[in-house]
Each structure stands twice: as C-alpha cells, then as structure tokens.
C-alpha cells in the first residue's frame, strides 16, 4: 500500500462520501423520527396494517413487531432503504475507484510513477474499505442514537444481528461493484447496472417471500441468506452465511484486482 | 558519448559538445591520462561499448484484431538521443505505452535498462521520466500540488526548490488550477514532472506540441543539458526538424512497422527539400540533378530536390535568383519518396 496515494484518494473521495453519508443519515433519522407517531396509534395501527395483503406484508418483512417496537420498525426500513443506499454508494465507488483514473485520463500519470499496479489497486481497495467502514460505523452509531431518542429501549441482540448481516450484504455489493469496474468499459456509467443489481437482489427476495410459487427465487438473492427483518420480534446472526458471503466477497475482489493487474491502459 | 578511463582520484568532469573527429582526437590526447574526465559528443557515430537502455525484440501489439505495432525491433544506447518518427497513427504512442508497461505486448519483448518492465516496472520507472503527448492531470489540483504529489511518490527531498526553478524557467504559474491551464501550460507542467526527479531515461511523446517557439527552444536546451549529464532520451515526434536538431539517430515507423533505423547524417542525406524559386527571366533553365516533380509558372519554379545540399547551393549560385524558399516536406511525402515498400 502506498501512503501518498492513500491520502490523496481519501481526499479525492471526501466530497462524494460526505454527500452519501448525509443522505444515509438523513434517511436513518427520518425513519426513526416517524416511529413515535406510529407507536402512539398503538392497537389501531396494528389493526390497520393487518388489513394489508398478507403477501405485501411478507414481501417487505412487516409483521406486528414492525409497529410494536422501534427495532422492528427500523428493521423493515433498514432493509428497504439503508442497505440499498449504502450498497449503491459503496458498489458505485468500488466500480469507479480504480477505473476513474482511466476514465479521467490520469491513469497514464499514475502508472508511470514508481508504484506497482498491485500497490495502486491495493491502495485504492484499502481506501474503498476505509470509506465503507466509516460510512457503516457512522450510520450504525446514528441509528443507535436515534433509537434512544425516538424509542424506549433497544433490542441489542436483534440490532447487532441486523447490522452484522447488513455489513456483509453491503460488502458483497461493494465487491460486485469492484468486479464490474474491472471488466466493463471505464466509460460506462455504472450506476444503472449497480442499482439494478442491488434492487434486483432485494426484490427477488421480496417476491419469493410473498409467494410460495416462486420461493426458489430467494436462493438467488443474498438478502435470503442474510435477512434483515425480524422474525417474531427477534433476529439471530447467521454466521455460516456471513462466512460464505465473506468468502465470495473476497473472491470477487481478488478477481477484480487480478484483472486490473493485466488490463491494458488505453487512454 | 565516450567516457575515457579515469585515473584514481578523478573528481571533475568536463564536457565538450559536438566536436568533430579531428578535434576529438586532439581533446582526448590532451586530457587522456590526466585527472580530467573527458566526455565527447559527436553526431553520426554510435558508441559501441555503452549498454542498451531501451531494447525491443519483435515487439507487437494488437488491440483485438486491430493492428497497433508489428515486429518493432529497436535499441537505444546509453547517453543517446534517439528519435522516433512517424506520422499520426503510425504506432509511436503504442510503442511507448508498451515500453512503459501500460500495454501488455501481444508478442515479443521490451527491456529497459536490460530488464523487463512487466517484471520490474516499479523500480525501473524510478529511473524514467515520461512526457505524454496528451496531458491529462488531476483537474482539481494546481500545478504545484501535482508536482509535489509527483515528488512525494518518488520520495524526493527538497523538491520544492527544483520545482520553483523549473517553473521559473518555463514561466509556469504553479498556483493556477490545472483545469484552468491552456494546453501549452499543461505541457510545461508535464515537462517539469518528467525531469524534476532527474531520470536516467527520458521518454518523450510528441513533447513540443502546444509549446511556443521560445519555450520549445528552452525545452531543447534543457534536454541537451540533461543529455550532457548522461541522460538517455527517446524522442517521439512527427516533426523531422526536431529530430534533426536533437537526435543522434532515429527510427522511422509507419503503419506499425519500423521502416528504417538511420543515423541522422544518413537521414539528412535522404531528406527531400521543397524548393520554390523566382528567377529574373521566364526562360526555363535546366534544374539540378536530383530535382523532381517540377512545376513552372512563368518565372517561378517549384520542385522537390533530393541530393547533397552543397550541390543545390552551387546550382543556385549560378542562377539569377530573385527569391528563394526552401521548405521541409511533410513526413508523408518523405515516406512516399524514400520508404515506399
């Protein structure tokens, strides 16, 4: 890893990271801040929501716990909004952090300095990892603060399990972004394929949850292996799935990294 | 360049540029065996003992099925200024990018300092300064920030003073954002980054594009000074006069293939000149041997000339000349005339 490049890359991604972090935090606080108004409705809200089609409620992981505790409420929206937003940010950063130099024409400058390609790619991936962890930790911290502000007490076990699953899910999407960036043209706008991949994963799982006829679709989605919503008010970490997803994540990053080492730098 | 063997305790170097063979012998006999190291430059003669700094063997690069370069074999010796000349799209930049390891060769090999750039690129690039033809730098940085970033990567200490000196020499405002610089000023920034770490090998790809004549001249002086200190220079251009001014020898590339590798004296002898004459009378005169493609219009004649310049001047001296223009033909004309395959 090259310290000079690491510092420069952090600086270069600062603005984009601040914008995305602000968006994620705004969503987190917005979700938590509206919980009290739902909870004050108490039984009426539970009755109202029970009138929703069962398939719809299943698809989005809504059950009684969604309305009766802040962790249930947060879990529903953590899956829908937070992991999607964070996944889009880190996957798009992963797709562009290496290729951006080629797209902007600065790869020629960088790769004719006395830094190996392995060091360039490794440093940029380290920056990506650092940005991911910073955003992830800040969001978790703000979620905990928000729950304390707007809820009564935090179900720590479910909260920890949810955020562990969220961590590995987002890491997986990030690695998929890195892989995408190493194989596709640097001139491509990656946002479309990335949003498609993440939303597609989410909705595959949602559709499979809603209908037994297509429940096999769930196997195609990482959300199935790393659930974010509560089951009867609780959630336990699936450590086996975390390990398998982590291994796949590492493999995707390695393939992307290896591909970058051999890629022709055209412009 | 010839380095004479030095006696023990030698510590001073004297440089004698562009001496002819006779003077070279005189200088060498004067200093040989004394405590002065004599470094002698002369054009048209290649040193035989110096190592190859650049060496390619049947180097080819294809972009899919599209041709980049085919079977490029060249060698550039230590201390040489080597021209690499060819029209746009001939394969100059592809060759350079392959030399630098930005492109992986389809076949053949490229060595710098006797080592493969693909295996030892990290260390080799420390010894290289590269000036690209298109300057794309981090738009959000100023020139100073870019050059400091460059110096930090190289681990240069006290680079600030050198950067300031070079910026002053090239009249570059270091504190303007790169995005706001003209192409010429970006090029100046690129020149500074290519030399500030005092590389042993300078690889220059169309280095003068965007520079005004004054800056071109300063740049050439800088190159000559670096070469005098021992730097090897690989100079890619499509402008023949630049190659003539600076280089000891040159390779000509066309259609991705090396058409010829010549020393500059031979290249000059083969060079065609375009001659435009206005004579006192309308009477047609016999043109000198080597004239071709003549066009007469009253007392004006336009023709291409290939042959010794001395013969042309002697012929001109015998004519009643009112006006004369001698110009360099475009590169494609040279290729068409002398390197037709």
Q: Is the pLDDT of residue B104 over 80?
A: yes
The pLDDT of residue B238 is 85
B139/A104 CB distance under 8 A: yes
The third-level CATH classification (topology) of the domain covering B271-338 is Alpha-Beta Plaits (3.30.70)
Q: What is the mean pLDDT of chain B?
A: 82
**How confident is residue B337, by pLDDT bands cut at 50, 70 and 90?**
low
Using the CB atoms, write b or e for A52-64: b if 16+ within 10 Å.
Answer: eeeeebbbbbbbb
Least confident of A78-82, B18-22, B270-274, B310-314: B18-22
What share of residues in chain B are helix, strand, coil (percent, to 5)?
A: 35, 30, 35
To the nearest whole angstrom, how far is the Cα of A243 from the nearest Cα of chain B?
35
**Rg of chain A taking only CA atoms, in angstroms:** 20
Q: What per-residue confidence (pLDDT) applies to B338?
A: 54
CA distance A203 to A221: 9
Assign domain B52-264 to its CATH architecture.
3-Layer(aba) Sandwich (3.40)
pTM over 0.80: no
A100 in a domain, yes or no?
A: yes
pLDDT at A58: 66
Contact list, A8 vs chain B (CB under 8 Å) = 149
B2 CA: distance to closest CA in chain A (Å): 30
Closest to B184 (Cα-Cα) out of B211, B207, B158? B211
Is A267 among the domain residues?
Answer: no
Question: Per-residue pLDDT tens for B36-83?
Answer: 334 443 433 344 457 899 999 999 999 888 889 999 999 999 999 999
Nearest to A29, CA basis, from A130, A165, A138: A138
Instruction: Identify the domain containing residue A88 by its residue range.
Output: 3-262
- For chain A, percent of residues with pLDDT exceeding 70: 90
pLDDT tens readout for residues B294-310? 999 999 999 988 888 88
Contact B251, B92 (CB under 8 A): no
Q: Is residue A50 part of a domain?
A: yes
Q: Which residues of B touch A (CB under 8 A)?
A: 63, 97, 100-104, 121-123, 125-126, 128, 130, 132, 134, 136-140, 149-150, 152-154, 193
With CA atoms as reference, the chain B residue closest to A265 would be B102
| B125, B138, B139 member nearest A112 (Cβ) | B125
A190-237 confidence digits (pLDDT tens): 888 999 999 999 888 888 887 788 888 888 999 889 988 877 778 888
Residue B198, pLDDT score: 92
What's phi and psi for A215, nearest 5 deg? -65, -20
The domain segmentation of chain B, as residue ranges, is 2-40, 52-264, 271-338
pLDDT of amino acid A263: 85
How does pLDDT run across B203-216, given as a tens digit for each residue? 999 999 888 999 99
Ranges of chain A whose pLDDT falls below 70: 40-43, 45-46, 48-50, 54-67, 267
pLDDT computed for residue B239 by the predictor: 82
Instruction: Let me know if residue A215 belongs to a domain.
Output: yes
Q: Which of B100, B149, B193 sits opposite A8 (nearest CB)?
A: B149
Type and span of the H or E element at B305: strand B300-306
Among B108-112, B239-243, B281-285, name the most confident range. Answer: B108-112
Q: Is residue A34 part of a domain?
A: yes
What stretch of H or E contains A239?
helix A239-262
pLDDT of residue B40: 40
- pLDDT confidence of residue B2: 45
What is the tally of structural domains in chain A? 1
List the single best residue of B128, B153, B198 to mutate versus A (max A Cβ within 10 A): B153
Interface of A with B (CB under 8 A): 2, 4-5, 8, 12, 104-109, 111-117, 119, 262, 264-266
């Amino acid at each position: 890893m090259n310290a000079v490049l690491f510092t420069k890359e952090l600086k270069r991604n600062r603005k984009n990271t601040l914008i995305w972090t602000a968006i994620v935090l705004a969503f987190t606080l917005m979700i938590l801040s509206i919980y009290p108004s739902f909870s004050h409705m108490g039984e009426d809200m539970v009755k109202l929501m029970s009138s929703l089609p069962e398939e719809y409620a299943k698809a989005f992981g809504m059950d009684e716990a969604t309305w009766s505790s802040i962790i249930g409420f947060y879990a529903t929206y953590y899956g829908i909004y937070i992991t999607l937003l964070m996944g889009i940010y880190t996957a798009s950063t992963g797709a562009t952090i290496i290729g951006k130099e080629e797209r902007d024409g600065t790869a020629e400058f960088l790769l004719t300095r006395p830094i190996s390609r392995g060091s360039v790619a490794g440093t940029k991936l380290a920056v990506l990892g650092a940005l991911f962890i910073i955003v992830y930790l800040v969001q978790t911290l703000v979620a905990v603060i928000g729950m304390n502000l707007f809820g009564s007490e935090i179900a720590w076990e479910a909260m920890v399990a949810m955020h562990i699953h969220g961590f590995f899910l987002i890491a997986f999407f990030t690695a998929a972004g890195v892989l995408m960036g190493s194989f596709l043209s640097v001139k491509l706008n990656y946002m479309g394929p990335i949003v498609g991949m993440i939303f597609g994963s989410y909705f595959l799982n949602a559709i499979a949850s809603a209908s037994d006829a297509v429940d096999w679709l769930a196997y195609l989605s990482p959300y199935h292996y790393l659930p974010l919503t509560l089951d009867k008010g609780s959630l336990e970490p699936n450590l086996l799935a975390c390990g398998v997803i982590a291994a796949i994540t590492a493999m995707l990053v390695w393939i992307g990294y290896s591909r970058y080492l051999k890629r022709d730098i055209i412009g | 360049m010839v380095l004479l063997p030095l006696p023990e305790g030698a510590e001073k170097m004297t440089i004698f540029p562009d001496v002819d063979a006779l003077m070279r012998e005189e200088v060498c006999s004067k200093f040989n065996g004394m405590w002065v190291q004599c470094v002698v430059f002369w054009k048209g003669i290649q040193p035989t003992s110096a190592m190859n700094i650049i060496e390619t063997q049947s180097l080819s690069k294809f972009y899919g099925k599209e041709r980049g370069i085919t079977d490029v074999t060249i060698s550039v010796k230590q201390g040489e200024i080597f021209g690499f000349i060819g029209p746009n799209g001939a394969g100059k930049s592809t060759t350079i990018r392959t030399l630098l390891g930005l492109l992986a060769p389809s076949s053949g090999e490229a060595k710098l300092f006797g080592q493969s750039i693909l295996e030892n690129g990290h260390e080799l690039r420390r010894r290289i300064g590269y000036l690209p033809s298109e300057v794309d730098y981090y738009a959000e940085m100023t020139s100073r920030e870019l050059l400091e970033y460059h110096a930090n990567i190289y681990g240069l200490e006290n680079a600030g003073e050198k950067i300031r000196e070079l910026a002053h020499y090239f009249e570059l405002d270091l504190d303007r954002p790169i995005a706001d610089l003209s192409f010429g000023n970006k090029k100046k920034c690129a020149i500074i980054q290519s030399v500030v770490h005092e590389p042993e090998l300078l690889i220059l790809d169309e280095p003068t594009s965007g520079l005004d004549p004054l800056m071109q001249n300063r740049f050439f002086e800088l190159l000559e000074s670096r070469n005098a200190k021992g730097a090897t220079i690989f100079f890619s251009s499509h402008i023949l006069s630049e190659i003539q001014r600076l280089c000891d020898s040159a390779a000509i590339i066309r259609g991705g293939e090396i058409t010829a590798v010549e020393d500059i004296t031979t290249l000059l002898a083969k060079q065609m000149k375009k001659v435009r004459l206005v004579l006192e009378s309308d009477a047609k005169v016999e043109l000198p041997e080597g004239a071709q493609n003549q066009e007469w219009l009253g007392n004006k004649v336009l023709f291409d000339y290939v042959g010794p310049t001395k013969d042309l001047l002697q012929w001109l001296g015998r004519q009643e000349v009112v006006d004369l223009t001698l110009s360099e033909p475009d590169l494609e004309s040279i290729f068409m005339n002398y390197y037709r395959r």
